[in-house]
Amino acid sequence: MSSSSMRILNHDLYKSACEEELSLIKADLSSIAAIHIIKIAGYTKSIMKKVQSVAIIGAGIAGISCAKALKASGKLVTLFDKSTGPGGRTSHRLFEHWGADHGAQYFTAKGDLFKKEVNTWIKAGVIEPWLGKIVSINKKQTTEVDNLAQRYVGVPTMNSLAKYLASDIPVMLSHTISKIAKTEEGWILFSKEKGQHPKSFDLIVIAIPPKQAESLLGGQFKGLSEICANARMLPCWTLISFFV
């Protein structure tokens, strides 16, 4: 959608679900890496020094941000995603003669560190301020939501930011990871499309929605699987329409 378009949504559900969904994008990239790697499974900084190769399942904003931080620290990183392009919750869907963003409608920047990062993305031409209207529909009444916070969208599509951030990272697309296993050589991954991946990895980071992660972990990793099972996600409805 262009920056002049109107987006209609249930604002209360959107605020509680989608803004939380994008909360990781507002953090320092190195902090994201720390959240996903050092804390998961009790990994410490001393153990991380021994890690050379990392597979990240999920090429959304969180997975890509984690990958960039790891690459900056000297690790060999490979992203895996089931979709045909990176983006996750910032995806863009193509139809026969048109396309639409069907994930997060926008994001905001509050912290100074993140605002600085946002400015670099604006200069790179992959995002821009969004000045469109947001309305709340309740009992047949339409009310415009306050527009005090500066909102940003990807240009020309919402997934432009993800593509830009992942441009220097190997991304294995159309790889639906269905199984992970630990061997003497390291972690190995299996996808529905390609079977076993030829390379092994020292560490795996799972950066996909809880329900998908629960299915992947199964009974093999009971503790992590239970965490995913108990995670609560709120729905966010998106209307995709085309006018002629």
Provide the pLDDT for residue 152: 94
Of 29, 52, 73, 79, the C-alpha closest to 205 is 79
What pLDDT, in 10s, does the model give residues 38-72?
A: 344 445 566 677 889 999 999 999 899 989 988 98
Pairwise CA distance, residues 92 & 99, whole Å: 7
Provide the pLDDT for residue 223: 82
169 has a pLDDT exceeding 80: yes
What are the structural domain ranges in the chain? 7-230
Q: How confident is the model at residue 22 (pLDDT cuts 50, 70, 90)?
A: very low
Query: How does DSSP classify residue 126?
Result: S
190 has a pLDDT exceeding 70: yes
Provide the pLDDT for residue 127: 96
Provide the pLDDT for residue 89: 87
Between β-strands 187-191 and 195-196, what pairing exists: parallel, antiparallel or unpaired? antiparallel
25 has a pLDDT exceeding 70: no
Contact 187, 180 (CB under 8 A): yes
Pairwise CA distance, residues 70 & 30, whole Å: 8
Q: Which residue has the higher pLDDT, 145 or 19?
A: 145
Provide the pLDDT for residue 134: 81
- Please state which of the ranges 9-18, 57-66, 155-164, 168-177 shows the lowest mean pLDDT: 9-18
114 has a pLDDT exceeding 50: yes
Contact 62, 207 (CB under 8 A): yes
Residue 60: exposed, middle, or buried by beta-carbon count in 10 A (0-12, 13-18, 19+)?
buried
Tokens for 170, please give them.
């190997």
Q: Phi then psi for 129, rounded to 5 degrees?
A: -60, 140
* Element (DSSP H or E) covering residue 148: none
* Average per-residue pLDDT for the chain: 80
Strand residue runs (E) in the chain? 7-8, 53-57, 76-80, 92-94, 99-101, 107-108, 127-130, 134-138, 141-144, 151-154, 171-172, 177-182, 187-191, 195-196, 203-206
Sheet holding 177-182, edge to edge: 177-182, 187-191, 195-196
Which CATH fold would you assign to the domain 7-230?
A: FAD/NAD(P)-binding domain (3.50.50)
Give the residue carrying structure tokens 């939501």. Answer: 145
Provide the pLDDT for residue 53: 94
Q: Which residue has the higher pLDDT, 25 or 168?
A: 168
Q: Which residue has the higher pLDDT, 82 or 223?
A: 82
Query: Per-residue pLDDT averaged across 117-125, rounded?
Result: 95
